[in-house]
Amino acid sequence: MISLEEESNEIKEVEIKESRIDNDDDNNLTKLKEELAALKEELREARKSSDNNLNRLKYMMAEFDNYRKQMEKQIDSRIESGKAELLVKFLSLRDDYLRALEMAKQSKSETVVIEGLEGILKNFDSLLRSEGVMEIETIGTPFDPNVHDAIGFSHQDEIEENIITKEIRKGYMLNNKVLRPSLVLISRKIVKNTANDTEKIEKEAEN
C-alpha cells in the first residue's frame, strides 16, 4: 500500500509537470503570437510595396501611352504635311495643263484631241477628290480672307461690296484646311463726289 506521504509527493510531481506544461504552452503561444504579428507586418509592408510598384507601373504606362499618342500625332502631321506639299505640286501641274487645254481650244485643234485632253483633266480632278481635295467657292460669294486672296477690285454699283466677281486662280481645301487660297477680284462700289458733280452741273447751266 502507498503511504499518504508518497501519494502527496506524487501529486506534487504531477502538479509540477502540469505547471511546466502550462508554462511551455504559454511560451509557445507567445512565440506564435509574435511570429504572427511579424508575418502580419511583413505582409503589410509587402502590400505597401506592391501598391507602390503598381502605381509606378500605372504611371509609367500612362506616360508611355501619352508618348505613343504624341508620336502618332507627329507622324500623322508629317504625313499630312508631305501629302499637302505633293498635292500643291499636282495643282500647279493642273494649272499648266488647263492653260495648255485652253490654248488647244483657241487654236481650234481637232475635236478628238480636245475631248481626249478633257478626259485626262476629269481623271486628274477625280484623283484630287479621292484624296480629299475640295474646290473653294468663289464667284458670287462674300470675300473670306481665310480662304481667298484678293489681288484686285472690280468697281460695280449693282453688286454689294466685298463680293467675289472673278476667280483668277482656283483655290482648294484639304481636310478642312486651306491647301491653296483662291486668287480673286472683289467688288467695290464707285464713290461719287456729289459736290463736284453739282458744281459741274451749275457751270454747265450758266453757259
| Alpha helices, H only, the chain | 4-106, 111-130, 194-206
pTM: 0.60
The residue count of the chain comes to 207
Tell me what pLDDT residue 147 has.
94
Tell how far CA 10 is from the center of its chain. Answer: 95
Q: Nearest to residue 179, comparing CAs of 89, 51, 62? A: 89
Tell me what pLDDT residue 173 has.
94
Tell me what pLDDT residue 80 has.
87
pLDDT tens per residue across span 142-187: 999 999 999 999 887 788 889 999 999 999 999 889 999 999 999 9
For the chain, which residues score pLDDT lower than 50? 200-203, 205, 207
User: According to CATH, what is the number of the domain 135-207?
Assistant: 2.30.22.10
- Which conformational region is residue 75 in: left (phi greater than 0), alpha (psi within -120 to 50 degrees), or beta? alpha
